[in-house]
Structure 1
Amino acid sequence: MLRRVVGDRATLWLETSSPAEVRVEVDGAGAGSTRTFSAYGHHYAIVTVDDLAPGSANPYRLFLDDRQAWPEQDSEYPPPVIRTRAADDREQPVDLIFGSCRKGTPQVSGRWLPPDALDAFSRRLMTDPETRPDLLVLLGDQVYADETSTKVRRFLKHRRRNGHEGPTDQVVSFEEYTKLYLESWRDPEVRWLFSTVPSVMIFDDHELIDDWNTSSSWRSDMARESWWRERISGGLASYWIYQHLGNLSPDDLAADPLFQKVTAAEDATDLLREFGLQVDEPESAENTDVPYQWSFALDVGRTRLIVLDNRCNRVLTPGARAMLPAAEWNWFVDRAHGDYDHLVVGSSLPWLMPPAIHYLEAWNERMSESHRPRAAAFGEKVRRTFDLEHWAAFSRSFAALGELFRRLGEGGPEAPGHRVGAGGAYRAPASISVLSGDVHHSYVARADFGHAMATPVFQLTCSPIHNEVPLPLRPLMRVAWWPGVVQAVRGLARTMSVHKPALRWKKLAGPYFGNAVGTLRLDGQVATARIEGTTKDGTLHNVAGVDYHP
């Protein structure tokens, strides 16, 4: 799996069936090698390839102990390549593909899902290499630990009969998590796509369990489950190996203490088991230390991408709930300032939801924190039943994110670190885009801060890549944008003293309920967003698009 390409270096991730020396050779220029590391009886490697030629797209081969393992002999797919950007890429467009929520099998609970949008994109890229993006951004629910396929459930039932504790339809241990990744990433089209397009990933709840870290009372309830400690440890350890390691640049890997310990250990099982438990320590308003930072940032050309952890490091203290603890929020604000043209924020949970749902979540947050026990219990039950846990349910974070975007978009001296324009004033970015998933439908919305602003701010939501929203919920997603419905729910929110947000937002496209992938092209000062859905025959067609610029 090709994960990061940074200048003349690239990283590739892989799992092997046994310990091996891994070597990558790139046609023309570039090579790298490493030894696999071991944990839980599995073997992994992340190889750094150096000395790549700038502005090139060259095929590569991967060897295990001098035996070519990729591409496979007699493969029907095009050769995988590593593409680098030009040495001076300031004028070169940036193309990002994004989406979330991908089931690894075509059938779930007896239902056949519509065609996989990632498969469809992969097939198009095979025939049209010019559509190759710079980066694939996967925004959560890459695997479903709590909604398993028939094949995985058979495996789980066998393990439960042999004494491995846990639900018969949900994974618990590290070994069980590996089956999810094996099932999903062995899809031939997706396997080829991952080998030739760099990718970054962030979790959402289903990598662990539905409603993960929705509230402090939820955490207390889960702690009483006898299998939960093994599940959270195995889930976070497997996420670190299968997804997070590839988000790190070569320099980040060299500076990561855990990675250095794991690769130096003969067997890293105990290290990773303890790590999985330690990083699940609950955050609080008083304790703002971050056990491990899952959020990350990178630059592609003149575009800055910051991907936020919306799950693990939440502050769940009633009255002080926050999407990120103070230290991580400060890190985010610092990275949001700088010398770039476009800011892209990856957030697994949409910042701008349909307005009626926004007010419902804000009302529910207040209700769940009521000093009346019955009211609080009712609010918590509603929260969990309807998954009311997006940015609106963390009202302080919602407002803070909007204020950050306003300050950046207005420019001026309160936005330190931005490029200095004519007259010494700080120049605002050309665009701000929030990429999200989770909600199993796609839409485009634009934020309105109540006055003319140099920078347009957009919410781009694309979900699912391969799943389905239940038919009864689709009308609710549509009417949640209707002004009359919004006013009614806003009236409900006012009963809990919920104030009107400092900004408004308007839907420009959607909602679209099929499987889809999103594209964001950033070219000079112009941003172009597009959502493409799958047809019945598994090809892509345009369902939404918008251009925006200062």
Structure 2
Amino acid sequence: MLLGPVLRHVGETTATVWVQTDRPAVVEVLGARASTFTVAGCHYALVDVTGLVPATSTEYEVHLDSERVWPREGSAWPAGRIRTRGGNGPLRVVFGSCRHPKPDEPRQAALLGIDALDVYATRLASIPSQQWPDALLLLGDQVYADNPTPQTWRWMAARRDIRQPPGAEAADFTEYVRLYVESWSDEELRWLLSTVPTAMIFDDHDVRDDWNTSAAWRDHLTAQRWWRERIRGGLASYWVYQHAGNLGPEERAADPTYRAVVDADGDAWPVLARMADAADTDPTSIRWSFRWDLDRARLVMVDTRCGRVLTEGARAMLDDAEFSWVEDSIATAATDAVDHLLVGSSLPWLLPPAVSDLQSANEVGCARGSALAERIRQAADLEHWPAFRASFDRFTAALRRVAAEPGAPATVSVLSGDVHHSYTARARFDEPVPTPVHQLVSSPVHHAVPGHIRLALRVSWLRLLGAVARRLARRSGVPDPAVSWRRTSGPHFGNALAVLRMDGRRAKLTFERADAHRRRWLLGPVSEVALTGARERVAPIRR
């Protein structure tokens, strides 16, 4: 077993375990078996374990062709466990984004600091499994296809001439495989993924920096001779390593791409190459967004990258069919008696107000044909929700509607990453709603943020700057949004995770940062935010 096991979707009586092997094999978990499928010479399996008992915890092993390969012989880590849904106790959801693998160059490793997920895994291994989280959400940039480690850079140089485009960046499926194997072979992360159900969504670096920023960006990239194999490799590897496990067993069994892959006579690469070609050119060909129901909490994970419509004057974060699916998944949280609605979006919905208005004003300039505005958009990464203003307004309306319903959840929270600092913000709508709606951002897990970037991020939150940006946006013809927001915690810097605890209809968020303490790295709280109530209660924690 080269990689895994990774525990993916878990229901009341089912669980999905993903593995990568070095040869074709039959993979067995708790009596459930699956034969591997092959993609570009690599071998994978998704084992669907059924017949489990709701609200139970079961140790499991992984066998390849009847030989036990997990847990590894002599491992000091606790046995992997599958903990099914169906209980009435508190829920814990951990989330974060932006995780670089460990480089072998000491100076670069020192700049990156300690991996927050490594420290978190070490902590979990020392506490009872009843205290483990119910889900881990990885909100983008699980791999960095455009910024590989020095060791992967050398591996690429031995494989091809990196003086030729695309240079020292992932060029095809094989090189994306290398990125995932390097990242997920980390001992601590490998154990963590084996025992905590994990949902994932891509952001730009999982494919390429600034992916699908604009029509001009796409026109430039698609004209490059190397782009077709690059985007095929990025989307096919994402489907294999991340997307397929996001789906529950029934949904995956009905998925035509999955059926074609597992039923392929031989290597299934042509199936995924066709899927990737279609997904890159036609956002309606596949829905990357998905939904998990976690007892009385619901997670709606939104694709904010591949489903974009980039036509100037009609830009949208999602095609209309997928946006309607997202709206329906949000709206039914009220009728389905959901206590807490979590909406995953790799890109934050609510940015610093000055940045938000700048992005909306820039979109207007680009729509008017300004070449300068387009250069600024690409140089400054102005491609978040406010840069798709019609979609920002539509998404805002969907959140306000569910928060206003008589049977609304106790909290509505948008969970995001990407921006390399952590914060919380509370939304205030033009038409008040009883349910609190928050933006919760946790970033990064393992990434260097230079001092001048930290300063710029702090400045971006200044109210005076926000007022100036709002006036400029109005002069550009941008209407005021139907929502305002106030930062309630942050900005916090450093490698960190966010822990969301839900108990009945109460919810609390804790930011935990990796810091050195007496020559040891520990993960400790820096801020706690109570999300329920007329006003959130924020408790900064001195370290």
One-letter amino acid matched to 1:7 = E
Q: Secondary structure at the match of 1:76?
A: coil
Matched residue of 2:24: which SS? coil
| Identical columns (%) | 45
1:106 is displaced (CA, Å) by: 4.6
| C-alpha deviation, 1:110, in angstroms | 4.3
Counterpart residue number, 2:10 = 5
Q: Secondary structure at the match of 1:304?
A: strand
Tell whether 2:268 aligns with 1:263: no
Map 1:258-337 onto structure 2 (within 5 A). 258-265=257-264, 266-283=266-283, 290-337=284-331
Residue 497 (structure 1) aligns with: 477
Match of 1:420 in 2: none
Match of 2:536 in 1: none
Q: Alpha-carbon deviation of 1:20?
A: 0.5
Query: Does 2:464 align with 1:481?
Result: no
Q: 1:166 to 1:40 in 2, by over 3 A?
A: farther
Structure 1 residue aligned with 2:352:
354
Work out whether 1:229 is the aligned partner of 2:228: yes
Q: What is the one-letter code of the residue matched to 1:15?
A: Q
2:407, 2:252 → 1: CA distance?
33
Q: Which amino acid aligns with 1:542?
A: P
Q: Tell me how many residue pairs correspond in the alignment.
A: 517
Shift of 1:400: 1.1
What SS does the corresponding residue of 1:104 show, helix, strand or coil? coil
Aligned counterparts of 2:255 and 2:282: Cα–Cα separation in 1: 22
The residue aligned with 1:415 is none
Query: Tell me, what secondary structure is at the counterpart of 1:241?
Result: helix
SS of aligned partner of 2:76: coil
Q: Which amino acid letter does the alignment assign opposite residue 527 of structure 1?
A: A
Residue deviations 1:114-164 (CA, integer Å, cap 9, x gap): 110111110110011343111111100000000000111111111223x99
Which residue number in structure 1 is paired with residue 26 of structure 2? 21
Change (3 A) 1:328 1:3: same
Q: Is the 8 A contact 2:331 2:401 kept in 1?
A: no
What CA distance in whole angstroms lies between the structure 2 residues aligned with 1:238 and 1:311?
Answer: 15
Q: Does the 8 Å contact 2:24/2:43 carry over to 1?
A: yes
Residue 368 of structure 1 deviates from its aligned partner by 1.1
1:125 counterpart residue number: 124
Is the CA contact 1:443–1:510 (under 8 Å) kept in the aligned structure 2? yes
Residue 192 of structure 1 aligns with an amino acid whose one-letter code is W
CA contact (8 A) 2:512 2:527 kept: yes
Are 2:511 and 1:531 aligned? yes
Distance 1:124 1:46 in 2: 28
Provide the C-alpha distance between the structure 2 equivalents of 1:49 and 1:476, rounded to a whole number of angstroms.
Answer: 48
Q: TM-score, normalised by structure 1?
A: 0.92
- Aligned equivalents of 1:500 and 1:450: distance in 2? 10
Q: What is the aligned counterpart of 1:95 among 80, 92, 96? A: 92
Q: In structure 2, what is the Cα distance between the partners aligned to 1:49 and 1:214?
A: 40
Q: Is 2:446 the counterpart of 1:466?
A: yes
Distance in 2, matches of 1:430 and 1:519, equals: 18
| Residue 107 of structure 1: how far off its partner (Å) | 5.9
Change (3 A) 1:109 1:391: farther
Distance in structure 1 (CA, Å) of the matches to 2:301 and 2:460: 27
Deviation at 1:451, TM superposition (A): 5.2
Question: Would you say the 8 A contact 2:104–2:151 is kept in 1?
Answer: no
For 2:276 and 2:106, the matched residues in 1 are separated by 30
For residues 191 and 331 of structure 2, what CA distance do their matches in structure 1 show? 36
Q: Offset at 1:491?
A: 2.2
CA contact (8 A) 2:103 2:150 kept: no
Q: Are 1:522 and 2:502 an aligned pair?
A: yes
Q: Residues 320 and 109 from structure 1, CA distance in 2 versus in 1: closer, same or farther, beyond 3 angstroms?
A: farther
Letter of the 1:530 partner, please give it.
T
- The one-letter amino acid paired with 1:96 is V
In structure 1, how many angstroms separate the alpha carbons of the residues matched to 2:430 and 2:268? 54
For the residue of structure 2 that corresponds to 1:468, the secondary structure is coil
The aligned residue for residue 432 of structure 1 is 412
Structure 1: which amino acid aligns with 2:355? Answer: I
Unaligned runs of 5+ in 1: 26-30, 284-289, 412-425
- Equivalents in 1 of 2:15, 2:282: separation in Å? 35
CA distance in 1, matches of 2:33, 2:136: 24
CA contact (8 A) 2:495 2:513 kept: yes
Closer, same or farther: CA 185–5 of 1 in aligned 2, 3 Å:
same
Per-residue CA shift, 1:5-45, capped at 9, x if unaligned? Answer: 111110000000001111112xxxxx310110111010000
Flag structure 2 segments of 5+ consecutive residues without an equivalent. Answer: 1-5, 534-543
Distance 2:45 2:180 in 1: 16
CA contact (8 A) 2:330 2:399 kept: no
The within-5 A match list for 1:368-387 is 368-371=366-369, 376-387=370-381
Q: CA deviation at 1:476?
A: 1.6
Distance 2:379 2:306 in 1: 20
2:3 aligns with none
Q: Following the alignment from structure 1 to structure 2, what is the Cα–Cα distance between the partners of residues 108 and 84?
A: 41
Deviation at 1:48, TM superposition (A): 0.6
